[in-house]
Structure 1
């Protein structure tokens, strides 16, 4: 499940459980609306809840296609989580995207927001 909110151009996403089609179908229009309205790129903080279990392979490919289609709309992406595989995944996927990605532990939530908002390298 995805909980999505916007706060002054920063997109906050909390992912929990297993992501499903409905989550993706809600996220895409929200992201596109913000990307059209806000100048530049959309910065994000993605919080992975302790019960986050990812998505199925079909969801992974759909997300990858979305990322390619919107590659110029992404600002910095801060990933907040507490599992080693989440940190590893952030490091693996970072080189695949134009946007910078950085992993933060839950105790660093405020630092994640500051980092995502300081999108100087993408300007």
Structure 2
């Protein structure tokens, strides 16, 4: 399950429990709408309460960020204390033009992702 909050240039996503393909589609729908607006789009992923994700989410993430929208986001903040997710975020820097930073603290992540 996910929750989504949207402001003018920030899309905040919190994952609770399992991150499913339906959840990813919901995120994708919001992101695509924001990308139609002028200006930069930043993302804030709060993954502290994510327990797992389905394999199809991984494939969709690769298609969405690395092939279809690799140049469309300015900053991506990831909040987690999971070393595997941290490593995945680090690896994503190779494929995405956005600045990507991993945080353990949500407030620090939000400050970073909203600062110009």
Q: TM-score range by the shorter chain?
A: 0.7 to 0.9
CA distance in 2, matches of 1:83, 1:30: 26
Deviations 1:93-113 (A, max 9, x none): 22221111101112xx22212
Say if 1:40 and 1:73, in contact at 8 Å, map to a contact too: no
Query: 1:57 Cα shift?
Result: 2.2
Deviations 1:20-58 (A, max 9, x none): 122122122211111112x233101110133x1342222
1:82 aligned to 2:91?
A: no
RMSD over equivalenced CA pairs, Å: 1.7
Deviating beyond 3 angstroms after TM superposition, the runs of 4 or more aligned structure 1 residues are none
**2:114 counterpart (100, 108, 117):** 117
Matching residue within 58, 63, 68 for 1:60: 58
TM-score (norm 1): 0.81
Question: Where does residue 31 of structure 2 map in the other structure?
Answer: 31
Report how many aligned residue pairs link the two structures.
115
Structure 2 SS opposite 1:18: strand
Structure 1: distance between partners of 2:82 and 2:63: 26
In structure 1, the gaps of 5 or more residues are: none
Contact 2:9 2:39 in 1 (8 A): no
CA distance, structure 1, for counterparts of residue 22 and residue 46 of structure 2: 18
C-alpha distance in 2, partners of 1:73/1:7?
17
Q: More strand per residue: 1 or 2?
A: 2
Higher helix share: 1
Distance change in 2, residues 1:33/1:6 (3 Å):
same
